Structure 1
Amino acid sequence: MIAIANTDNFASNVDLIIPANNRGRRAIAAVYWLLTLEVLNKKGLVEHRQFDTFIYKGNAYKVDDFETKLEEGAEE
């Protein structure tokens, strides 16, 4: 099992911990963005220096695409 964990999270029954802030939508989106970019880079599908946007299968992705969207009327 892989977990994204903050410093105060428990690590029992976890095989691999990715140390990162896991408290906010944007923090988790940034972690998913970096993981996706690194996996695609290792597969040779994107260049490593494309940090702000990358194109995969004809679609352009930005970090905001990985953020959970709030429902209308919800507070941030």
Structure 2
Amino acid sequence: MLGCIRKYLHDSHWEEVLLLLIAEQKPKKVAKAMREILRRGSEYEEWLHRDLLFAGSCLAEEPKVYGVLMVIWCKRFWRSWLS
């Protein structure tokens, strides 16, 4: 799964596939996928926030991950929105 995320994260043809793939995983694997996405550091992430927005889409589809990852996502989202 992580290999698919690394290879196709911002490929528009794969967005729904990745969302479904992540949503069907057990909570530990979802957490691992979320960490991979949030650590990605994609090109122009500082301005476009594509990694952050995709991670938010994953949480909206199947919010199996709460706690620390949810807090990290929320902090990054608000920080990006306020800047």
TM-score above 0.5? no
* Structure with greater helix percent: 2
Report which of the two structures shows the higher radius of gyration computed on alpha carbons.
Answer: 1
Q: Normalized per residue, which structure has more strand?
A: 1
Q: Which has the higher contact order (CA 8 A, sep 6+)?
A: 2
